[in-house]
Structure 1
């Protein structure tokens, strides 16, 4: 379970308000794709942070800073799908099917953002859509795939497994078409141990970039004690801007362990 506070996450330079970021030129504008009930704004008491937001730029205080992070960091998003597929193949071949009820770890695989910790798949974004998940939400990770917020839980654990990704500003934004994700959609996360966790989307909301509660153990309730595993995706809103954040929250449905990474 998460043992550090949101404040400590911010202290190491992680903006806890990040949301999946992707260019969405073909997406409906504003809240057109979201039901009224899902368009929640943060309460006035929502905590805020002045830390740089990983979904925009390290120079977040600069209004001219480009979306997509620091352009001096190589943009490897065009290779993200290949890196995700390579990770799945490597884990599958190094962890043979049916060897034991207790899974063993697959061989380490790396991509543009460093070691791949998991592979994220969202059918609503395409039958072949897959992204490597890297540890951290710095430009190195988010300009190569999607990043896991350090200090939040791992897949399948009680608490919040929180991920950020770009929606615009890079060659192939992970969450370009985030508006295609609707309530009830499935999201799967596969680990090197060949365990696949399947989540079901339960809420989609738009919040201010300063709302740090979205990646709390219980999303939106930083003082609550978690009782179930959840997954949170964070990215920018609108499609080509960063005035707010889109937050997708999903509950764990099931896990399939040790038999297939595909």
Structure 2
């Protein structure tokens, strides 16, 4: 891959977006019949599917918690999801992404309602185009709601970064590869941050400004998540009425 000479020219990014614009999003709720809840999520060139199973019995039993549910999150990139074929199975990155993604969702789940049980979240990346962890969190949050898991709110995730000395929202692949910083953030609609990581360097002022940009992007995504869920359940209700 050859590095482009400029990633931003005249205030416009290589993919035609302004610095504070997110990529197009497509959401389909309830795509897997055998899962309790599921979601297909496209975020730019990312194509991700999330499935939720549970609450269900914990195996092995020694992992049970007597006072709450155990939340398990498995993030996996399909071997065909990237240009150079990825080796199948978990690696250090997928284990790290699974851990931070689980921690991003746990604060909104009422785990105490389901002692000695497990809530399993599976996120499969079918096509990767920078920002797969944020796409996975967005999809998983919708799948949890689709499964009827009691939650305080949805969680929305988006990244902000620094490219050619300019702050940009929702980095694409070139920006992720050749940018100066990348900061994925997950948050609830009322502004509580459940994930914040950073790779690269931002000044204190850039960090503050980037945080505000990310909040704007997350709120935009939250609206799309709610709309997708409402569309699914309003169409189901219409079907029941027509019967």
TM over 0.5: no
Which of 1 and 2 has higher RCO (CA within 8 Å, sep 6+)?
Answer: 1
Structure number having the greater strand percentage: 2
TM-score (norm 1): 0.27
Q: Greater Rg, structure 1 or structure 2?
A: 2
Structure number having the greater helix percentage: 2
